[in-house]
């Protein structure tokens, strides 16, 4: 058991090997926004302390919001409705985690969604994995406000994750 002050000293001192955090949106530089969404400031809480100092950061969230409809159960994912709000944007509304600074700190940074997985590289955001049944162009690339790098060995996620 740690009191709050000691806990934040632990974060600030780089005590976390890995952190799993949500994202509201992220951009082509790998910066993440969780603190100002839809024009409403909600504040970052301890997000900055954790995200800046963990050796590896895994940001988890959906590729889009508002009205997304997905179907799974047979080993595939089908996107029935894309969603009205894109979360992979050209430039985040507010920077809560800086992708460029993550590169300077040599953090390993992943961005995982229900239909595609991305990583931060010095060359930009790289798409390295998609869900089985997802159409790369229609269900991923067309739902982004920036073109990612696409891994030469683009993988397909294990279909067992999409079975009932």
* Paired sense of beta strands 116-121 and 108-112, if any: antiparallel
Instruction: Match 């982004």 to its residue by tokens.
Output: 144
pLDDT confidence of residue 15: 78
| Whole-prediction pTM | 0.93
End-to-end CA distance of the chain: 38
* 38/102: higher pLDDT: 102
Residue 96 — pLDDT band, cuts 50, 70, 90? very high
Reported as a single tens digit per residue, the pLDDT across 11-30 is: 777 778 999 999 999 999 99
- 28-43 burial, b at 16+ Cβ within 10 Å, e below that, comes to bbbbbbbbbbeeeeee
> Domain 4-162: which topology?
Glutaconate Coenzyme A-transferase (3.40.1080)
Reported as a single tens digit per residue, the pLDDT across 101-111 is: 999 999 999 99
CA separation for the pair 56, 53 (Å, rounded): 9
């Amino acid at each position: 058991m740690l009191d709050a002050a000691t806990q934040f000293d632990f974060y600030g001192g780089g005590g976390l090997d890995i952190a799993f955090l949500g994202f509201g949106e992220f951009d082509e530089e790998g910066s993440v926004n969780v603190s100002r969404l839809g024009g409403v400031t909600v504040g970052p809480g301890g997000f900055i302390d954790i995200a800046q100092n963990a050796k590896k950061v895994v940001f988890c969230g959906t590729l889009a919001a508002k009205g997304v409809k997905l179907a799974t159960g047979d080993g595939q994912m089908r996107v029935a409705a894309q969603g009205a709000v894109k979360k992979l944007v050209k430039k985040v509304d507010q920077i809560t985690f800086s992708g460029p600074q993550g590169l300077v700190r040599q953090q390993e940074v992943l961005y995982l969604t229900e239909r595609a997985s991305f990583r931060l590289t010095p060359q930009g955001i790289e798409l390295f994995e998609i869900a089985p049944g997802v159409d790369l162009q229609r269900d991923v690339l067309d739902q982004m406000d920036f073109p990612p790098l696409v891994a030469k060995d683009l993988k397909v996620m294990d279909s067992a994750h999409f079975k009932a």
